[in-house]
């Protein structure tokens, strides 16, 4: 289940602002979605192939250029779908507990 939710978490992080991988790892590290580069890079590549995220190379004063990721319009749609589905699941589970 965590693996499926990692895409949702990643799209949520990227939706907030253009982010570098280290920023993503830091944001996720303080959540149940903490992960490592070895998991994150393949997922970002998949999301890029699916046209949900894109990246831009930005020069860095501290070394080589960095890839900064952002959501595409298709990524924003997917995030909205996932958020709606999550709300539906939450409501359903809460109602099951009250029956």
> CB-based contacts of 21: which residues, under 8 Å, 6+ apart?
37, 40, 41, 44, 66, 67, 69
List the single range of 34-38, 60-64, 80-84 with lowest mean pLDDT: 60-64
User: In this model, does residue 73 exceed pLDDT 90?
Assistant: yes
Strands (E), the chain: 19-20, 53-60, 63-71
State residue 1's pLDDT score. 65
What is the reported pTM? Answer: 0.87
User: Region 7-13: what's the mean pLDDT?
Assistant: 95
Sorted by where each starts, the structural domains of the chain and their CATH numbers stand as: 2-98 (1.10.10.10)
Q: Is 78 exposed, middle or buried (0-12, 13-18, 19+ CB in 10 A)?
A: buried
Q: For residues 14 and 33, give the distance between their C-alpha atoms in angstroms, rounded to a whole number.
A: 14
């Amino acid at each position: 289940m965590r693996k499926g939710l990692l895409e949702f978490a990643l799209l949520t992080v990227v939706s907030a602002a253009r982010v570098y991988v280290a920023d993503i790892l830091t944001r996720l590290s303080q959540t149940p979605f903490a992960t490592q580069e070895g998991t994150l890079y393949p997922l970002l590549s998949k999301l890029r192939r699916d046209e949900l995220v894109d990246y831009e190379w930005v020069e860095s004063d501290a070394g080589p250029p960095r890839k900064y990721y952002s959501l595409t319009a298709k990524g924003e749609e997917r995030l909205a779908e996932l958020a709606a589905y999550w709300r539906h699941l939450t409501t359903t589970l809460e109602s099951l507990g009250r029956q």
